Chain A
Amino acid sequence: MIAPPKPDLVTVNVDGKEIAVPKGTNAIEAARLVGVDVPYYCYHPKLSVVGNCRMCLIEMGMPAVDPATKAPIMDPATGKQKINWIPRPQIGCATNASPGLHIRTNTPQIKDCREGVMEFLLVNHPLDCPICDQAGECKLQEQSIGYGRGYSRYIEQKNVKPKRTQLGPRVMLDDERCILCSRCIRFSKEIAKDDVLGFIDRGSYSTLTCYPGKQLANNYSLNTVDICPVGALTSTDFRFKMRVWFLKQTNSIDTETSVGANTVVWSREGVIYRITPRRNDEVNDTWMADSGRELFKAVRAADRLAAVKVDGADSSLELAVKAAADLLKAAAGAVAVVGSGRSSVEEQFLTAKLAAALKAPAQLVSRTGEGDKLLVSADRNPNVRGALVTGLIAKLPAAKLADLAAAIDAGKVKAVVSVDEDLAAAGLSAAQLAKVAVVYLGTHANATSAAAKVVFPTLTVFEKSGTFVNQQFRIQKFLKAVPGPTGAADDLAVLSRLAGAVGAGPVPADLGGVWTVLANEVAALKTVTFANLPETGLLLDATPFAGLPFVEGETLHYKPAAPAATA
C-alpha cells in the first residue's frame, strides 16, 4: 500500500482513485475531493451526523489482513492487497477515513439504494414545486434528476400534514414538504443553543414542530431555512417574492458587526431580495444572524439621500465639491474630520488623505452592543481595524465625540467633514452643530445631513465594491450587487475630488486606482491586491495593534487576545 504522505493523513480509495485525506474525514467529503458526488440530505458539514436520510449509502471495504498474524492478504489476480467489502451498504456521512478505506459509489447496488431512497422521499411529498419557494434550489429536485424514476408507482393517498405553521416570526413551516432530515433541529440545539424544535408523532406521520409554548425566534432562525434541503422551511420575508433562478448572486460581507460574516446578496434588475450566508470556515462557517439579512432594506428606504445639496438647494457634484472646498479652506486650521468604521478600507484611506491635506485630526465613532458569542460581536462597526491599518486613526474610537464637542465650544473647530456619521447621534448638540460648517457624505437623512452646508449622497455597501478588515484582521472583499440610486455618487469619487480640491495632490478616484496606491503606502497591504484577494479573505499582520483594548469578546472563530499581551 501507499504509505501515508503525512502522519495525520490517511490514504483512502474512492471508486479506484486514491487520495490522502485527514484522518476522520467522512466518505462524502473524501469523495468530494476526488470529484465524486455522493448525494445526501441530512448530512451537514457543520452539524452532528445522524445518518437518517440514507441517501449517501456507499459500499465500504477494508484491506484484508490475516486475523491471526495481521499480515496482509494479497489478491493473486491483481497483486494488491485483497479488499474485504462489507455486503451491506454503509452511510457515507458516518464512514470515517481510516488507512486503506475503500469506497465504491458507482455500483448497481448503490444506484439502486439511491433510487430507492429518492422514490421513498417523494411518495408522501406534495410535489407542489410550481408554488414552492425552494424550487430551483431544492435537493429533492436536483437529486431526482439523477436518481428519480420519472414516473410514480405510488397510487395510494398521500399523507396530509399542516401546510402553514408559523414556527417563529421569520420562519414558516410546510410539514408536507418536510423530509424529516432533522437539520433544523440539530442547528437549533447545537449552533443556536436554542433547543425549541422537535418531532411529534411517529413513522411517516412524524411532524416537525416547536415545543409547546416555544417559538423559533432566536436571531439565527433563518439559518434553518438556509439548511432546509427542501421547501419545508421558508423565510416569511422572502416567501412568494421571487424565483431564485432569476436572482443574481453577489458576494458580500455582513456589515452588522466586526465579525464580517461572508454573505451572498441575491438581486434582480437592481433590486435586492435576500441575503444569505456564504461559507467561510474561518469566519462564519455556513451561518449568519437574522438581523444581518435585513440590512438590504436600507437600500430602498424612504429617507435615502439622492440629491447633492449646497445650503439646502439641489446642486451638482462639481459645484458642491467647489463649495465644500471653499468652506474647508476658509476654515483652514480649524477643520475636523469624522471618518467611519462602516466605511471600506479604500474609503478610509482616502478619508485619511483628505484629513492630511486639511491638517485636520481624524476620528471615528465607536458603536458597541452586547456580543452573542456566535456571529454578533460587541463591535458593531465592521471596519474599525481597517481604519487602523490605513492609518486613519491610531487609537480606538469612543462612542461620543467629546473632544470635538469641546473644541467646537472653544471655537477651535469651525468646519467638520463627516463621512456617514450622524454627529448629533455621536453627541454633538444642535447648538454645536449650528456653530460649525458641516460637509456631509452619507446615505440616509439624519440631523447632520439636515444641518450640513454641503451634502453628498453616497452608496450603501450593496452598491459599491471594497474591503473590510474584520476582528481577526482578516481583509475581506465585498462586491457591488446593485447600482446606486440616481443622484448618489461613489464615496471614493467624492472623497477623491474633495481631497484634490483642498490640495492633496493627485488622489485616485476609483477602486482600482486606490489599490495601486494602497500597496505602496500601507505596509500591511504591500502584498495584497484587490483582484487576487481570496474569497475567504486574507489575514493581515495584527502585531502593530496588539496592545489596543479591542472591545470584542469571544465569537465563533475569534478569541480576544489575552489582556496581558501588551507590547
Chain B
Amino acid sequence: MPAPQQRRIIFRHIDEPGYTNDLACYVKHGGYEMLKKALAMQPAAIIDEVKKSGLRGRGGAGFPCGVKWGLVDRKSGKPIYLVVNADESEPGTFKDRYIMHQDPHQLIEGIMISAWANNVKQAYIYIRGEMPHGARILEKAIAEARAANFVGPNILGSAYGCEIYVHRGAGAYICGEETGLIESLEGKRPYPRIKPPYFPAVLGLYQCPTIVNNVETLCHVKHIVEMGGDAYTKIGTPNNTGTRILCVSGHVKNPGYFEYEVGKITMGELLNEVCGGPLPGRKFKAVIPGGSSAKILKFGETFTLKNKDGSTRTLTVEDIPMDFDTLAACGTMGGSGGVIVMDDSVNMVEALANINAFYAHESCGQCTPCREGSLWMKKITTRMVHEKARSEDGALLKSVADQIAGRTICAFGEACSWPTQSFVAKFGDEFKAYPETKNAPKPAGALDLV
C-alpha cells in the first residue's frame, strides 16, 4: 500500500518555485484575506472555531489551543499579551524555521487573527538567537504588513490595532519553555517560573495575562478561520486534528520535512516509503519520534494498547500512527515533530552521550535536580565513551535520571531525563556490554565520536 499523500496546508507554498517571502507574493496567493474575514467576525466566535477545531499546540506538549485561550484571565483589566514561541530549539526540529524563512506573512496573519480574537494589543515574536536570518525576514515582513495596514493601529480601517515586535533570544534552549521565555522577554535570566502561581494565562509577561503559542500553531489558526472549526476536525484523526509537520533527520535515504494529516501516516510509512528507507546495507535500530527529549523507540519492540471497546491491539514501531495520543500511549510523545532515526551503525551509549551533552549545556541551573543531574549524566556518558566505562554505569544513569524527572520547576527535568531513562531501559544490554564493546571496530560508515 503506498504511503498517503502529504497534505500541505501550512507548508503549501514552502519550496514552491517562484514563491517569495514578500508581501506582494503572499497577497497574490490570497494572503490576509483571512484577517479581513476574522475582523468581520466577533472575537468570541473565532475562539469558538478554534475550540471546535480541536487544534493542539505544535510546540511539544500538544495542549489544546482553544483551551489555552479559554484560560486567559480576561477580567483583570490588565492588557493581554500574545507571545509567539519561535525559539525552535529542540534537536531534530526544523519546521518553524521554514515557515519564518519562506512564508513569514502566514505567521503574521495567524498572529493578527489570534490577537484580534483575544483582544491583544501587543504581540511578541521570540525568535531563537541562532536564527538571525529569520529575525531579519520577520522584521522586513512586519514592516511590509504595517505599511499595508495589516499590522499596527486601525488595522484595515477598523478601530482595532495591534503591534508585533520581534525579540531575538541569546541562544538558550530554555527560552523555549514558556515561562523562561517570558522572563527572557522581560530582560531577565530565563529561569522558568513556578506554577502555581505564575500561570502565563493569569500572571505572564509583566505579570499580565499572556498567551504563548508556537509558530506552527498560530499558522493553523489562519486555516481554521478559512475552513471553519468543524471542517478542520475532518482533517487528521479524532482528538488529533489537522496536519502537522514531521521533520525527519538521521539515517534515512531522504530526510526532510513532510506535512501530513495527524495520525494518517505511520512511522513505518514515513521512514520506509516517504523517506526511502534505511541507508544501503543498514537496518533501522531506533527512532526518537518527537525531538530529542522524547523517549526513544526501538525497532522490534511491540506495544499492546487498549482500544475504546476494551479489546487490545498490538503495534510494532512501524505501525504507530504519527499522532499525539498513540505515541503517548506507546510511552513517548509526538513532541515537536522532530523524528530522529538511528540505524545499526549507532552505538546507543555514544548517541546518549551526545544528547546528554546537549541537555547539560542547556540546563538553566535554577533548580537542583536538573542542574546537577543533567551534568552528572553527561559526565557519566562522556566518561564511558572517552575514558573508563563500567558495566554498572547504565543502572547509575537510570537512577540519576529517575531522581530528576517529575521533581523540577519546568519540563526540562523530563526533557533531560527521558532520553537516559529510555535508552537505558531499551538498550540496557548495550550499556552493560559497553566496557567490552567500546574498543571493537566500528561498523562501516559509523560516525566518528566528537
**Which residues of A line the B interface, CB within 8 A?**
49-55, 57, 88-89, 91, 94, 112-113, 116-117, 119-121, 123-124, 153-154, 156-157, 159, 179-180, 198-199, 201-206
Contacts and interface: CB of A to CB of B under 8 A. Distances in A.
Interface stretch (B283-291, B310-318, B322-330, B375-383): B375-383
Nearest to A117: B368
A238 to B, nearest CB: 28
Nearest to A156: B379
9 pairs of A and B residues whose beta carbons are closest in the complex: A116-B403, A120-B372, A206-B365, A156-B379, A203-B363, A204-B375, A51-B194, A203-B365, A52-B367
Interface of B: 172, 189, 191, 194, 196-197, 360-369, 371-376, 379-380, 383, 396, 399, 402-404, 406-409
Given A117-B407, A205-B365, 20 more contacts: A49-B194, A50-B366, A51-B367, A51-B409, A89-B406, A89-B407, A94-B194, A94-B196, A94-B197, A116-B407, A120-B369, A120-B371, A123-B372, A153-B396, A156-B379, A156-B380, A199-B365, A202-B363, A203-B363, A203-B371
A91 B368 contact: no
Contacts of B371: 120, 180, 203-204, 206
B406 A88 contact: yes
A183 to B, nearest CB: 14
A198 B366 CA distance: 12
A310 B65 CA distance: 90
A91 B403 contact: no
Contacts of B373: 120
B361 A203 contact: yes
Nearest to B198: A94
Given A52-B409, A113-B407, A121 B368 contact: yes
A204 B102 CA distance: 38
B435 to A, nearest CB: 14
A179 B383 CA distance: 25
Nearest to B188: A198
Nearest to B376: A123
Contacts of B366: 50, 52, 180
A199 B376 contact: no
Contacts of B402: 116
User: Which of B196, B361, B369, B371 has the most chain A CB atoms closer than 10 A to its own CB?
Assistant: B371
Contact of A204 (B189, B360, B407): B360
B369 A116 contact: yes
A53 B365 CA distance: 11
Contacts of A55: 368
B331 to A, nearest CB: 16
A120 B362 contact: no
Interface residues of chain A: helix, strand, loop or mixed (majority):
loop
B368 A179 contact: yes
A55 B396 CA distance: 21
A120 B363 contact: no
A53 B380 CA distance: 23
A159 B365 CA distance: 13
Contacts of A89: 406-407
Contacts of B368: 52-55, 117, 120-121, 179-180
A487 B210 CA distance: 72
A203 B374 contact: yes
Most chain B C-beta atoms within 10 Å of own C-beta, residue among A55, A89, A123, A179: A123
B314 to A, nearest CB: 27
9 contacts: A53-B367, A54-B408, A55-B368, A117-B369, A120-B403, A202-B364, A204-B365, A204-B372, A204-B374
Nearest to A95: B196
Nearest to A115: B403
Given A57-B407, A116-B403, A206-B371, A156 B365 contact: no
Contacts of B375: 124, 159, 203-205
A55 B361 CA distance: 23
A198 B194 CA distance: 19
Contacts of A201: 365
Nearest to B403: A116
Contacts of B379: 156-157
Nearest to B383: A156
A354 to B, nearest CB: 60
B406 A54 contact: no
Nearest to A94: B194
Contacts of B365: 180, 199, 201-206
Contacts of A153: 396, 399
A25 to B, nearest CB: 15
A54 B365 CA distance: 12
Most buried by B among A55, A121, A180, A202: A202
Nearest to B406: A88
B434 to A, nearest CB: 16
Contacts of A113: 407
Nearest to B364: A202
A116 B373 CA distance: 9
A50 B194 contact: yes
Query: Which of B196, B362, B368, B406 is the most central at the interface, judged by chain A CB atoms within 10 Å of its CB?
Result: B368
B342 to A, nearest CB: 26
Contact of B194 (A91, A117, A206): A91
A53 B362 CA distance: 18
A197 B375 CA distance: 24
B369 A54 contact: yes
Contacts of A154: 376
Contacts of B374: 203-204
A345 B367 CA distance: 50
Contacts of A159: 375
Contacts of B407: 54, 57, 89, 113, 116-117
Contacts of B404: 116
A534 B380 CA distance: 55
B396 to A, nearest CB: 6
A203 B404 CA distance: 14
Nearest to A90: B196
A119 B409 CA distance: 18
Contact of B367 (A54, A112, A116): A54
A203 B376 contact: no
A113 B413 CA distance: 13
A452 B72 CA distance: 77
Given A52-B366, A54-B367, A203-B363, A124 B372 contact: yes
A204 B370 CA distance: 9
Nearest to A93: B194
Contacts of A112: 403
Nearest to A57: B407
Contacts of A57: 407
A123 B408 CA distance: 17
Nearest to A153: B396
Contacts of A54: 367-369, 407-409
B197 A203 contact: no
Nearest to A116: B403
Contact of B364 (A121, A156, A203): A203
Contacts of B383: 156
Nearest to B379: A156
A117 B408 CA distance: 10
Contacts of A51: 194, 367, 409
B364 A119 contact: no
B389 to A, nearest CB: 12
Contacts of A119: 403
A49 B198 CA distance: 12
Given A50-B194, A156-B379, A121 B372 contact: yes
B302 to A, nearest CB: 27
